Amino acid sequence: MKKLIIATALAAASLAVQAKDIVETAVAAGSFKTLATALQAAGLVDTLKGKGPFTVFAPTDAAFAKIPKADLDALLKDKAKLTAVLTYHVVPGAVMAKDVKAGTVKTVQGGMLTLGTTGGVTVNNAKVVQADIVASNGVIHVIDTVVLPK
């Protein structure tokens, strides 16, 4: 009986330490409150909790703060435009920073991102400030600017 209790406790502990999905990882980091709010407003939370894998170029709260408040408020109220902006930050597959190749890549939104590798990874006009945050369904690269589809 004692062995069964220990085995059950170990199984429960191993489940508790499994990697979090992209949304849970971003929320736990604490610097993506605006992104989490935007994902909720756009109805994309379940998508990014899905199987994936996804590569997400995640703008920080400071990146969203670069957008004038009136423009950000309007974006958060326009679900279609918000969805387009958020899915423009997502690329299918899990791509680690060392595997990024300079050039263009198609986003989940359908537009193209321009990736650079000189002096660190860049995404359009944004710099990757923290790379390779692994989640259970992909990878997050933190960027310093919100990138907007054309």
pLDDT per residue over 41-65, tens digit each? 999 999 999 999 999 999 999 999 9
pLDDT per residue over 91-107, tens digit each? 999 999 999 999 999 99
The reply to whether 12 falls in a domain is no
CATH of the domain at 118: 2.30.180.10
Number of domains in the chain: 1
The reply to whether 131 falls in a domain is yes
Beta-carbon neighbour count of residue 9 at 10 Å? Answer: 10
Helix (H, G, I), strand (E, B) or coil at 40: helix
CA–CA separation, 34 and 72 (whole Å): 10
The number of residues making up the chain comes to: 150
Helix (H, G, I), strand (E, B) or coil at 50: coil
The reply to whether 149 falls in a domain is no
The reply to whether 100 falls in a domain is yes
pLDDT per residue over 105-150, tens digit each? 999 999 999 999 998 999 998 999 999 999 999 999 999 999 999 8
- For the chain, first and last CA: distance in Å? 63
The structure's pTM equals 0.85
Domain containing residue 34: 17-143
The reply to whether 3 falls in a domain is no
Cα-based angle 85, 27, 41 (whole degrees, multiple of 5)? 40
The reply to whether 5 falls in a domain is no
The reply to whether 10 falls in a domain is no
